[in-house]
Structure formats: C-alpha cells, structure tokens
C-alpha cells in the first residue's frame, strides 16, 4: 500500500503513512498559466493499493484528486481508496428550493465512479454515503477530540444544535461528563439565533463540539448564549475548520477560551489529529 498526499492534505497523509509504516508520496501539483491543474506521481509504477488523501474542497482540490487517481491507476494501482478528510458540498444534501441540484449526491456520484472505497470523516450527515455503491465509511473524530480534552477540566459538552447532539453525547460519554444541545435557528448564511441554554451552565467550563465552523456565526452566537447563562469558560472543538472570511481571527478575538479543530483541513487551529483513526481504518484493508 502507498499513501499519496494531495496538496490539501500533505501533512495528514504523511502522518497516516508513518502510523501505518507504509510508503508515502506527495503528488507534485502545480497550476498551468491558465489555472488548470497539473499533477504528477514521480515514480515508475505502483504495486498494490493506492490510498489518496485529499479534500474535495475547494472545487480545485476535487479536480486534483481525480487527476491523481488517474495517474495512480495508470501506474498500476490495484485498488484506489479515497480518503476525503473534508468532503465539500456535504451540507447541500437535500433540495431546499425547487430547481436546485442535490449537490452532495452529485459529488458522491463522481467519486463512486473512480474508486473502490471511500473514507470520510464526520460528514455533515452520514446518510450522504448512501449514494455510494462502493465500500464506504464515515469515521468519527469524537475519540480524538475527547482524548485531547480529557484532562482539561471540562464540566459539560454541548452541541450548538440538535443535529449535532449525537456528537456531543459521543464526546461527553468518552470524557465522562454530561452533554446537552442548544437550540439553533438559522437566520441567514452568516447569522444564527441560539436560544438560552436549558442546562444549568453557571460556573461551568463548557466544551462546544460541532462538525464544522464556516463563518463562525454559530459558535459566536452559542458562546454568547453560554456566557450570558454564566458559563465560567467556553472552548470550541470542531472537526473541520473551514474558517471563511477571517472566521478564525474573529473567534480568537471573542470571549472563547480556545478554538481548536482537527487536521482534516490544515489551519493554524488544527491541533487535533485524525491520522490515527484513518490509519486504523486503512489497516482493515
Ligand atoms: C450546521 O448544521 C453545521 O453543523 C455547522 O453548525 C454550521 O455549518 C456552521 O456554520 P457557521 O460557522 O457558518 O455558522
């Protein structure tokens, strides 16, 4: 087995290969003057399976992944396993208005045609994977997050909405602390309203967990509600730190104690590694 890192995930791919004790190679990717992607796997052949680790976000990374896959197959890869730490378009998993595409399904359809197995991490909704006909698995970052925070004196784990409550339970159970969820209403792409917390948060050190932070609107509103409820401190850990429009700077300048995410996307806050859980899955074949 060889682990190939696409440009979005070089560090993570290296870590996964080290964990597995197998060969790592980085795809040499550049851009043509017109912006089109050029990539090359600088070797003569591939024997055995090729694991390609690359995000499908932003769009250019999807094209790079497809090109790396073709190069790997041409070099002789037996099976192609796509590890997609952050799967773009996962939030557009249903029709919100007539005339829209089912974007998440479209992405699955493209990838399904070109690989033998897909490994994702904390997909927005696990049911998205039902669109794959090949072997697929969605790994959970909860164990890595709980491990990171287990000796940080957290009193309670909360999710910002009911949709992420299973994640709060998973992390809370692993840390041996209570969990709950807040009530979120989305007002626009950047604004949300969070109802006052039902649980007693006064004096507590709270850890908010979510699958992703994009604009940061959800976490800013949640931490405000928790501070108003008397929380002693609010820390946030998400799996995917997308951090659009200076979201990370805004969050760090807020009353939050700490902002951390996993290394599914490489950011200055990516302090929790999912390499171990990916390697464990790849060991299964
Ligand atoms: C939504 O359901 C997700 O779980 C996240 O809470 C959301 O995508 C975060 O987006 P933002 O940071 O823009 O509020």
Q: Could you tell me which of 85, 82, 66 has the C-alpha nearest to residue 74?
A: 66
pLDDT band at 35 (very low <50, low <70, confident <90, very high): very high
Q: Does any ligand 1 atom lie closer than 6 A to the CB of residue 93? A: no
- CB of 88 within 6 A of ligand 1: the answer is no
Choice among 20-24, 128-132, 257-261 with the minimum mean pLDDT: 128-132
Q: For residue 139, what are the β-bridge partners?
A: 121
CA-atom Rg of the chain in angstroms: 20
b/e map 160-181, b = 16+ CB within 10 Å? bbeebbebbbbbbebbebebbb
pLDDT confidence of residue 70:
98
Whole-model pTM: value is: 0.94
Across all residues in the chain, what is the average pLDDT?
96
* Closest Cα to atom 4 of ligand 1: 211
Catalytic residue among 117, 169, 184, 204: 184
Look at residue 195 in the predicted model and tell me its pLDDT: 87
Cα 224 to Cα 35, 180, 227: the distances in Å are: 42, 17, 5
Question: Is 224 noted as a catalytic residue in this protein?
Answer: no
Spacing of C-alpha 149 from chain mean position: 18
- Contact (CB, 8 A) for 158 and 197: yes
Report the atom number in ligand 1 closest to the C-alpha of 190. 13
Q: Looking at the predicted structure, is the pLDDT value of residue 166 above 90?
A: yes
216 alpha-carbon distance from chain centroid: 15
The verdict on the CB of residue 210 being under 6 Å from ligand 1 is yes
- Which residues partner with 193 through β-bridges? 185
The torsion angles phi and psi of 40, rounded to 5 degrees, stand at -150, 140
Q: What is the pLDDT of residues 77-114, one digit of tens each?
A: 999 999 999 999 999 999 999 999 999 999 999 999 99
Q: Cβ(182) to ligand 1 under 6 A?
A: no
Determine the pLDDT at residue 17. 98
Q: What is the pLDDT of residue 199?
A: 85
pLDDT given for residue 47 in this prediction: 95
pLDDT, one tens digit per residue, over 192-202 is 899 877 889 99
Q: For residue range 227-262, what is the model confidence (pLDDT) as tens digits?
A: 999 999 999 999 999 999 999 999 999 989 999 999
Å from CA of 165 to ligand 1 middle: 13
Alpha helices per DSSP H over 54-130: 59-74, 103-112
Q: What is the pLDDT of residue 196?
A: 76
Q: Which pLDDT band holds residue 285 (cuts at 50, 70, 90)?
A: confident
């Amino acid at each position: 087995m060889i682990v190939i890192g696409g440009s979005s995930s070089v560090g993570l791919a290296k870590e996964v290969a080290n964990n597995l004790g197998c060969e790592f190679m980085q795809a040499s990717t550049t851009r043509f003057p017109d912006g089109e992607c050029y990539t090359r796997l600088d070797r003569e052949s591939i024997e055995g399976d090729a694991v390609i680790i690359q995000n499908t976000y932003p769009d250019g990374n999807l094209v790079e992944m497809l090109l790396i896959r073709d190069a790997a197959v041409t070099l002789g890869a037996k099976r192609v396993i796509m590890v997609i730490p952050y799967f773009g378009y996962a939030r557009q998993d249903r029709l919100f208005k007539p005339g829209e595409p089912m974007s998440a399904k479209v992405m699955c359809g493209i990838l399904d045609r070109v690989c033998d197995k897909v490994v994702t991490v904390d997909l927005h909704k696990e049911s998205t994977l039902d669109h794959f006909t090949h072997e697929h698995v969605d790994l959970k970052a909860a164990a890595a997050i709980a491990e990171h925070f287990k000796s940080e004196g957290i009193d309670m784990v909360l999710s910002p909405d009911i949709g992420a409550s299973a994640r709060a339970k998973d992390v809370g159970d692993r840390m041996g602390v209570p969990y709950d969820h807040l009530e979120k209403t989305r007002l626009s792409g950047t604004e949300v309203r969070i109802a006052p917390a039902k649980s007693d948060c006064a004096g507590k050190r709270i850890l908010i967990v979510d699958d992703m932070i994009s604009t940061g609107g959800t976490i800013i509103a949640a931490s405000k509600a928790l501070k108003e409820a008397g929380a002693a401190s609010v820390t946030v850990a998400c799996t995917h730190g997308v951090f659009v429009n200076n979201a990370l700077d805004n969050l760090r300048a807020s009353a939050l104690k700490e902002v951390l995410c996993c290394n599914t996307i490489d950011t200055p806050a990516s302090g929790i590694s999912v390499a171990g859980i990916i390697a464990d899955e790849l060991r299964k074949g």
